């Protein structure tokens, strides 16, 4: 199976929409338009991906694009996850909209993790877990 067909198969799987729907239905304090906005946002992410997958004729280029999209989304998700949990640890409360954004986005990340090479996913996760060194080098400080 080619990467394009695998991506289309996984991203267009109706189960993904069902999972998003089920997750958002748990957002009891929201209005329908808030849930719809979040659903549209995550669908947009998926559809952008599918759009490029349809246009790109080079398998290698598409794999690179998939990895870059994964890095972008994963970094975004990590930032949201930290925002949610710093608030939770400090105050015991957090922004529920961000919680649901994080949850539905993580499902999309899961789909990409199933398509990308596991070794690449592992390398990306390791890098994103520690993108900066804790001690600046003497050169960086001098500059």
Partner 1 sequence: MSSFDSKIISQLPAATKEFSNAQPFGIVKVSDDGTIQMYNNWEAEMAGVAVKDAEGKNFFTQVAPCTNNRLVHGKFKDGVAKGELDTEFNYTFTYRMKPTNVVLRLVRDSRTKSNFVLVAKKN
Residues that bind partner 1 (CB under 8 A): 22-23, 26, 78, 81-82, 84-86, 88-89, 92, 94, 99-100, 102-103, 106-107, 109-110, 125-126, 129
Nearer to partner 1, 62 or 101 (CB): 101
CA distances from 40 to 19, 29, 58, 93 (A): 14, 19, 29, 26
Least spacing, CB of residue 116 vs partner 1, in Å: 15
Nearer to partner 1, 54 or 86 (CB): 86
Nearer to partner 1, 67 or 107 (CB): 107
CA distance 132 to 73: 18
Phi, psi of 120 (to 5 degrees): -65, -40
Nearer to partner 1, 39 or 52 (CB): 39
Beta carbons within 10 angstroms of residue 73's beta carbon: 17
Would you say 65 and 56 are in contact if contact means Cβ atoms under 8 Å apart? yes
Closest to 101 (Cα-Cα) out of 29, 28, 23, 32: 23
């Amino acid at each position: 199976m080619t990467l394009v067909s695998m991506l289309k198969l996984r991203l267009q799987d109706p189960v993904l929409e069902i999972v998003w729907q089920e997750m958002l239905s748990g957002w009891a304090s929201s209005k329908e338009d808030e849930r719809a906005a979040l659903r549209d946002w995550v669908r947009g992410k998926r559809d952008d991906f599918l759009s490029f997958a349809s246009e790109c004729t080079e398998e290698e280029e598409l794999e690179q694009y998939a990895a870059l999209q994964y890095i972008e989304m994963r970094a975004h998700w990590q930032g949201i996850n930290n925002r949610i949990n710093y608030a939770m640890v400090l105050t015991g409360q957090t922004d529920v909209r961000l919680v649901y954004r994080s949850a539905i986005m993580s499902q999309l990340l899961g789909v990409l993790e199933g398509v990308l090479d596991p070794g690449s996913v592992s390398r990306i996760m390791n890098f994103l877990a520690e993108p900066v060194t804790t001690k600046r080098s003497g050169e960086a400080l001098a500059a």
